[in-house]
Amino acid sequence: MPGKSPEIVVIDDSLTSISLYELSIGPLDVKLRSFQSPTESLSYLQDHGVDLVFLDVLMREKDGLTLLKKLRGMKRHQNTVVVMVTSKDYHQDRHIARGLGVREYLVKPLRSQEIREIICKYTDAQPKPGH
């Protein structure tokens, strides 16, 4: 019996970045849920466990590191796999992110193939039939 498709959450206020994630997951059997609003993402994550979170840092409403602290404060997300994907390439941000248990800190732009590799590395994602 096939397993449940992994659920991936993207939190990024850039519509273009979200389009890139949507393009990237094409060949994979995963469920992608994207949020441009960090606040809305937190409301969702409060009630849902997920397999992987891609999180931006520089967002208008709330910065990703502050959001990550809140996320880690939720019991169900203490160990959720989080990968930062951001335009910010600073030691201070990497250091804070590492302290909050992120698996990887990647600097934009990423290729679709790189996004797929991250998904396959941290989830049980399988190719969609026919891919």
Per CB under 8 A, does 20 bind other proteins? yes
Closest CA to 108 of 79, 130, 87: 87
3-state secondary structure 17-38: HHHHHHHHHCCECCEEEEECCH
Nearer to other proteins, 78 or 124 (CB): 78
Per CB under 8 A, does 14 bind other proteins? yes
Contacting other proteins (CB under 8 A), which of 107, 124, 127, 128?
107
Closest CA to 123 of 54, 53, 51, 55: 51
Per CB under 8 A, does 131 bind other proteins? no
Residues that bind other proteins (CB under 8 A): 14-17, 19-20, 23, 58-60, 62-63, 65-66, 69-70, 87-93, 96, 107-109, 111-112
